[in-house]
């Protein structure tokens, strides 16, 4: 039995094959499937960490973890994807939990800000995110900004 494991790598540690598969998945979902024409490669990949689940050479799910100061003053999770062939199998929740845990526990970031497609706000709320903006269009898709902050014990 093959065990699939989550991988997290800095940009320079990705193999060319891994990067190609990640870039292809991102392009397939965000440009082709969602019919958005935009610059997918936004100069934020190199300072980011790349979290993905690969099984038998296929990337099942992926997200990009950015430290504070790269996109926002807070850390950010972006490019959250589950491949079309594996949606509905629980990978989205596993991916986001892995991402939140890593940003909070390993990167030691106390706040995470995301740009979420508006229809997914209930999904992100399950992981402690709250809406902090009015809806806005990004590439013709309704989005909201959401924030997750670690609770402090300061009294």
More confidently predicted of 133 and 40: 133
Q: Model confidence over 111-120: pLDDT tens digits?
A: 999 999 999 9
d(CA 130, CA 146): 5
As a whole number, mean pLDDT of residues 91-99 equals 96
pLDDT greater than 90 at residue 134 = yes
**What percent of the chain has a predicted confidence (pLDDT) above 70?**
95
**pTM score, two decimals?**
0.90
Domain boundaries, the chain: 6-149
Inter-CA distances, 65 with 10, 22, 95, 100, 104, Å: 10, 14, 11, 9, 11
> What pLDDT is stored for residue 2 in this prediction?
52
Mean pLDDT of the region 65-92: 95
Task: State yes or no: pLDDT of 1 exceeds 70.
Answer: no
Whether the predicted pLDDT of 17 surpasses 50: yes
Question: What are 29-45's pLDDT values in tens digits?
Answer: 888 888 777 777 888 99
Could you tell me what percent of the chain has a pLDDT over 90?
A: 76
Structure tokens at 7: 């991988």
CATH 3.40.630.30 fits 6-149, yes or no: yes
**Residue reference for tokens 């996109």:** 71
What DSSP string describes 54-101?
A: EETTEEEEEEEEE-TTSSSSSBEEEEEEE-GGGTTSSHHHHHHHHHHH
């Amino acid at each position: 039995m093959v065990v699939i494991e989550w991988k997290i790598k800095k940009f320079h540690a990705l193999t060319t094959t891994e990067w190609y598969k990640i870039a292809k998945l991102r392009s397939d979902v965000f440009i082709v499937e969602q019919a958005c024409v935009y610059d997918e490669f936004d100069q934020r990949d190199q300072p980011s960490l790349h979290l993905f689940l690969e099984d038998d050479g296929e990337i099942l799910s992926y997200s990009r973890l950015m430290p504070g100061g790269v996109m926002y003053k807070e850390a950010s999770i972006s490019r959250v994807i589950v491949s079309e062939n594996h949606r509905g199998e629980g990978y989205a929740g596993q991916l986001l939990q892995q991402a939140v845990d890593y940003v909070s526990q390993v990167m030691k970031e106390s706040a995470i800000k995301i740009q979420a497609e508006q229809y997914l706000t209930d999904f992100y709320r399950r992981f402690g995110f709250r809406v902090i903006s009015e809806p806005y269009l990004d590439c013709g898709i309704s989005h909201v900004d959401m924030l997750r902050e670690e609770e402090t014990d300061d009294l």
